[in-house]
A and B are shown apart, each in its own frame.
Chain A
Amino acid sequence: MSFVSLQFPIFFLVVCLVLGLLPKKARWAWLVAASCWFYMAFIPAYILILFVLIAVDYSAGLWIEKSQGAKRKWILIGSLITNVAMLAAFKYLNFALENVNEVFQSTGIGSLAWRFPWVLPIGLSFHTFQSMAYTIEVYKGKQKAERHLGIYSLYVLYFPQMVAGPIERPQNLLVHLREPSGFTWIGVIDGLKLMAWGLFKKVLVADRLAVYVDSVYANPNGHSGWEVLIASYFFAFQIYCDFSGYTDIARGAARVMGTRLMLNFNHPYISRSPAEFWHRWHISLSTWFRDYLFFPLGGSRGALWATCRNLFIVFIVSGFWHGAAWTFLAWGAIHGLFMVVQKLLEQSKSFVGASAKMGSTGAGRLLQMLFTFHLVTFAWIFFRAKSMSDALDSIRQIVSMGSWADLGAAFANPAARAGVLVMALLVAIEWAHRRWHMPTYLAARPWYVRWLLWYGLLTATLLYGRFGNEQFLYFQF
């Protein structure tokens, strides 16, 4: 079930009403049932995959805690292999087959006209990573194994974040699920505000931008350089609003029910370097990779070349996590390259000095932000393109640019003008939020000012939102 479907508000209302009536001890059972229902709205049979994951990791957690020495490590490895195998089977097997096929065809051996007949279960990459975080934390001794199967099931299944994160850590989520704080006035109000803001970002900004982005990226060669450039800028905002909009609705829904999910986005496009961007973008995934891949690889403790290698590996894996396609690998590699270059430049005292000097002025900071934004937007081209050749064609088109008249022609399309409008609106709101911290600022204003703003936001969503697209971009991962 999608957060922006018409079913969701009804579902959520029923879940909350029943939850409020149940004693605290029984709430987990209701939430597990509701979460299963939520997930089964996609492809019902795939719930079995989640049950297998739950069974394996729940048992592994208990077993690791009871065991000693090398046995603990082997249990952990077994659990991790099961998770990764599940992901590999559903996400990467067909990709591997396609590539084998291409090699066979190019060498004249023939072709395997065969594919596994399944589609990627929605949110599988998220569940497996969250499950793996649990067993690793138990192995490290930082988390006690959960004995209550129902609570552990809820850790994997909790519907607000089960299909697209945030990828929670057991230390945060299990505590909340075990001892739910229940409904509070502030929790409900804050949660609903977050949900309204997320809905605004998704249906009014992301889905409006999608109209133009989809038409241009369907055939980049059929569009001018200006059009591809505009679509690329739009996509940078589309993916941000789509994903952070989803996260806000998820966090808001959890907050209403008395659970706090972690922050996943923190104004990523104001970052002044690629490294800062990754501290602000998809924080739950970035920290997962940092804790469970970068650090085990050696982190930045070793020689410079080893740190660069580790960074590059992490970003390649991150690219591959996003999707089984060469475009995602290229996207990961480009970010890996940015990080490596930044690391190398930071070795130079003159660079660090110049950068700090530049960052000491408003104009300098703005330039750094714009530069980083353009690096990130460049990488998004690979993320969005349907294939590597499309990505390269898009870049070629952008470089060829086009005339002033072509720019005019690009904005003859109403979707392009609508895109600029919603992008400007978002930037203005985010800037105001950043400048004044809106909740604090609004709290000091009279009630009617606050209400007018929320009414304005909801009315704008109703009148200008693009309803009907229930898919979120990150559902595919």
Chain B
Amino acid sequence: MNSSSTSSSNAPLWRRILVATVFVAGLVAIFAYLNKQGGKGRIEGDIWFSLVAGEGLGHTADALFIGSSRVSAAIVADGFDQMMGQVLRRPIQSVNLGMGYSTTAEYVMGLKRLRDLNPEAIRGSVVFIEAPMGLPDYSTWSDTWLVDAAPELMSRYLTSGDLPRLFRSNTPTGGKLLVAANVLFGYDENITRIRRTFQSWLDATTLSVFSGLLPISVEGGTADLSSKGGIRTDKKGVDDAKIIAQRTIAAELADQRPRREWDNTTMFEVVQLLREMGAQPIFYEMPMSPGMSAIYQTPVRIQDRAIFQAVAGRWGVPYLKPTIATTEEDFPDEWHLRKSRAPEFTEALTREFLEKFVAPAMRSAQPAPSVDSTKTGA
């Protein structure tokens, strides 16, 4: 639009400034209004630590599963609870906190906030941490703290005191600014929510209009995948995920650097925080598609894996290796285990956990071992 302003160019300066101020104030008012409208309820997968803090459960969870959307796809919390409950002869409650686009830096910050709110929130819980093909996340504080697509996941855990450290990291500048705006002014998160609501409404409206004109049959959640943790199950979502997986595999194989300095990682801080809060971390191997597992089968990664197992031992964190036979078909979008195989994997993991920790505790003549006693065994 080639504009040539005809606004009050002859008006005195004070009037121009007043007009500009009122215009900007109007914009701020719209922004504040949208922010307020979006302030009800939470975005899907919101604040994982608040669940643990008792908002969702009413009491401390016995076990937590933290990690990426791979965790939300592969773990069936009810299955774990049932199997453990039968053995321990009491109700067990676990929570699957697997979330797409989450990062280990976010877990550290989340745990810190949780510790400030309620230091006892996870005392006695077992915390399962995914280690794809035997290697958990290797990020450090100088890496990016957040995923571009979901900066709001991180911003809700930070305080203004954390911002200088965030700005020293290699987080993209846009992400830093968004997080800072959210932390300092409380924006972004609610706007994100109202954007999603508006876009869903617009999508539904256009669908009803187009459906009246054309024979449209919308493919819903067609893939055999869990839709929790932000996983897309529609055809396009699955196709996009496959493309991203191919790029990730190619990039990783082209430039694979050793992962040896584990004590500098954010994962080490997660382990330390969990310990400090009275929880027991446990690493477990996550099943991967053949394409993805190729990344971990190079000489560099084989050596990394051996080194990490020694590191986990030094950290005093048990390491479980549940196995189920999988094929390419078990990973519809290359990233996530098929929904129909998730109970089997959960069972394998639970069995491994029971065999390694609960059974020895039971054999040592404890009458009815609690999850706490299993942790003692761990």
Q: Smallest CB-CB separation from B236: which chain A residue?
A: A413
Judge whether A418 and B5 touch: CB under 8 Å: no
For B308-326 the 0/1 string (1 means CB < 8 A from A) is: 0000000000000000000
Judge whether A186 and B218 touch: CB under 8 Å: no
Q: Counting CB contacts under 8 A, is A462 at the interface?
A: yes
List chain A residues, Cβ under 8 A from B5.
185-186, 189-190, 193, 439
CB-contacts of A407-446 with B (<8 A): 407-409, 411-415, 417-418, 420-421, 429, 433, 438-440, 443
Report the stretch among A44-52, A69-77, A451-459 that lies at the interface.
Answer: A451-459
Q: Counting CB contacts under 8 A, is B239 at the interface?
A: yes
CB-contacts of B169-223 with A (<8 A): 173-174, 177-178, 191, 194-195, 198-199, 202-203, 206-207, 210, 214-219
Report the stretch among B23-31, B252-260, B262-270, B341-349 that lies at the interface.
Answer: B23-31
Judge whether B23 and A451 touch: CB under 8 Å: yes
List chain A residues, Cβ under 8 A from B217.
408-409, 412
Other CB < 8 Å A-B pairs besides A414-B206, A418-B206, A462-B195, 16 of them?
A6-B173, A190-B5, A404-B215, A405-B215, A408-B217, A409-B216, A411-B214, A411-B216, A412-B218, A415-B236, A418-B202, A433-B1, A438-B1, A440-B6, A451-B23, A463-B34
Judge whether A439 and B1 touch: CB under 8 Å: yes
Q: How far is the CA of A319 from the CA of B215 in the complex (A)?
A: 40
Q: Smallest CB-CB separation from B10: which chain A residue?
A: A185
List chain A residues, Cβ under 8 A from B9.
185-186
List chain A residues, Cβ under 8 A from B174.
5-7, 468, 470
Judge whether A417 and B206 touch: CB under 8 Å: yes
Contacts A412-B218, A455-B30 given; does A464 touch B199 at CB 8 Å: yes
CB-contacts of B219-256 with A (<8 A): 219, 236, 239-240, 243
Q: How far is the CA of A178 from the CA of B239 in the complex (A)?
A: 54
Out of A404, A417, A463, name the residue touching B203 (CB < 8 Å). Answer: A417
Contacts A189-B5, A464-B198 given; does A215 touch B239 at CB 8 Å: yes
Judge whether B206 and A421 touch: CB under 8 Å: yes
Q: How far is the CA of A409 from the CA of B174 in the complex (A)?
A: 36
- Shortest C-beta distance, A41 to chain B (Å), equals 9
Judge whether B4 and A439 touch: CB under 8 Å: yes
Q: Counting CB contacts under 8 A, is A229 at the interface?
A: no
Q: Which 9 pairs show the lowest CB-CB distances between chains A and B?
A: A443-B6, A408-B215, A417-B206, A408-B214, A6-B174, A6-B177, A189-B5, A439-B3, A197-B1
Q: How far is the CA of A7 from the CA of B148 in the complex (A)?
A: 15
CB-contacts of B17-37 with A (<8 A): 23, 26-27, 30-31, 34
Q: Counting CB contacts under 8 A, is A263 at the interface?
A: yes
Q: Counting CB contacts under 8 A, is B7 at the interface?
A: yes
List chain B residues, Cβ under 8 A from A103.
none
Q: Counting CB contacts under 8 A, is A218 at the interface?
A: yes
Judge whether A193 and B26 touch: CB under 8 Å: no
List chain B residues, Cβ under 8 A from A189.
5, 7
CB-contacts of B127-181 with A (<8 A): 148-149, 173-174, 177-178
List chain B residues, Cβ under 8 A from A462.
31, 34, 191, 195
Judge whether A411 and B202 touch: CB under 8 Å: no
Q: Counting CB contacts under 8 A, is A194 at the interface?
A: yes
Interface centre among A194, A415, A459 (most CB of B within 10 A): A459
Judge whether A417 and B210 touch: CB under 8 Å: yes
List chain A residues, Cβ under 8 A from B3.
190, 193-194, 197, 438-439
Q: Smallest CB-CB separation from A9: which chain B residue?
A: B177
Out of A5, A10, A194, A420, name the residue touching B206 (CB < 8 Å). Answer: A420
Q: Counting CB contacts under 8 A, is B59 at the interface?
A: no
Q: Counting CB contacts under 8 A, is B364 at the interface?
A: no
Out of A215, A408, A468, name the residue touching B148 (CB < 8 Å). Answer: A468
Q: Counting CB contacts under 8 A, is B86 at the interface?
A: no
Q: How far is the CA of A160 from the CA of B6 in the complex (A)?
A: 24
- Shortest C-beta distance, A182 to chain B (Å), equals 15
Interface set of A (CB-CB < 8 Å, partner B): 5-7, 10, 185-186, 189-190, 193-194, 197, 215, 218, 248, 263, 404-405, 407-409, 411-415, 417-418, 420-421, 429, 433, 438-440, 443, 451, 454-455, 458-459, 462-464, 468, 470
Q: How far is the CA of A304 from the CA of B202 in the complex (A)?
A: 54
Q: Smallest CB-CB separation from B177: which chain A residue?
A: A6
List chain B residues, Cβ under 8 A from A194.
1-3
Interface set of B (CB-CB < 8 Å, partner A): 1-7, 9, 16, 23, 26-27, 30-31, 34, 148-149, 173-174, 177-178, 191, 194-195, 198-199, 202-203, 206-207, 210, 214-219, 236, 239-240, 243
Chain A to chain B contacts (Cβ below 8 Å), 22 pairs: A5-B174, A6-B178, A7-B177, A185-B7, A186-B4, A186-B7, A189-B7, A193-B3, A248-B1, A407-B214, A413-B236, A414-B203, A421-B202, A438-B1, A454-B23, A458-B30, A462-B31, A463-B198, A463-B199, A464-B195, A464-B199, A468-B149
Q: Smallest CB-CB separation from A457: which chain B residue?
A: B1
- How many A-B residue pairs have C-beta atoms within 8 angstroms? Tell me: 110
List chain A residues, Cβ under 8 A from B177.
6-7, 10
- Shortest C-beta distance, B3 to chain A (Å), equals 4
List chain B residues, Cβ under 8 A from A193.
1, 3, 5
Q: How far is the CA of A404 from the CA of B198 in the complex (A)?
A: 30
Out of B16, B198, B236, B240, name the residue touching A185 (CB < 8 Å). Answer: B16
Q: How far is the CA of A311 from the CA of B120 in the complex (A)?
A: 78
Out of B1, B173, B239, name the residue touching A5 (CB < 8 Å). Answer: B173
Q: How far is the CA of A463 from the CA of B5 in the complex (A)?
A: 26
Q: How far is the CA of A421 from the CA of B210 in the complex (A)?
A: 11
Out of B2, B27, B199, B240, name the residue touching A455 (CB < 8 Å). Answer: B27
Q: Smallest CB-CB separation from B204: which chain A residue?
A: A414
Q: Smallest CB-CB separation from B219: which chain A residue?
A: A412
Q: Smallest CB-CB separation from A443: which chain B residue?
A: B6
Q: How far is the CA of A62 from the CA of B197 in the complex (A)?
A: 61
List chain B residues, Cβ under 8 A from A468.
148-149, 174
Q: Smallest CB-CB separation from A417: which chain B residue?
A: B206
List chain A residues, Cβ under 8 A from B23.
451, 454
Q: Smallest CB-CB separation from A470: which chain B residue?
A: B174
Q: Smallest CB-CB separation from B217: which chain A residue?
A: A412
List chain A residues, Cβ under 8 A from B178.
6
List chain A residues, Cβ under 8 A from B206.
414, 417-418, 420-421
- Shortest C-beta distance, A76 to chain B (Å), equals 35
List chain B residues, Cβ under 8 A from A411.
210, 214, 216
Q: How far is the CA of A164 from the CA of B6 in the complex (A)?
A: 29
List chain B residues, Cβ under 8 A from A464.
195, 198-199, 202
List chain B residues, Cβ under 8 A from A407.
214
- Shortest C-beta distance, B279 to chain A (Å), equals 35
Q: How far is the CA of A438 from the CA of B9 in the complex (A)?
A: 18
Q: How far is the CA of A203 from the CA of B244 in the complex (A)?
A: 22
Out of B195, B215, B236, B243, name the residue touching A463 (CB < 8 Å). Answer: B195
Contacts A189-B5, A407-B214 given; does A417 touch B194 at CB 8 Å: no
Q: Smallest CB-CB separation from B23: which chain A residue?
A: A451
- Shortest C-beta distance, A13 to chain B (Å), equals 13
Q: How far is the CA of A230 from the CA of B177 in the complex (A)?
A: 36
Q: Smallest CB-CB separation from B175: which chain A residue?
A: A6
List chain A residues, Cβ under 8 A from B194.
463
List chain B residues, Cβ under 8 A from A433.
1
- Shortest C-beta distance, B55 to chain A (Å), equals 29
Q: Smallest CB-CB separation from B173: which chain A residue?
A: A7
Q: How far is the CA of A7 from the CA of B26 in the complex (A)?
A: 24
- Shortest C-beta distance, B157 to chain A (Å), equals 20
List chain B residues, Cβ under 8 A from A190.
3-5
List chain A residues, Cβ under 8 A from B27.
455, 458
Q: How far is the CA of A443 from the CA of B173 in the complex (A)?
A: 39
Out of B2, B195, B215, name the residue touching A263 (CB < 8 Å). Answer: B2
Judge whether A451 and B218 touch: CB under 8 Å: no
- Shortest C-beta distance, B17 to chain A (Å), equals 10
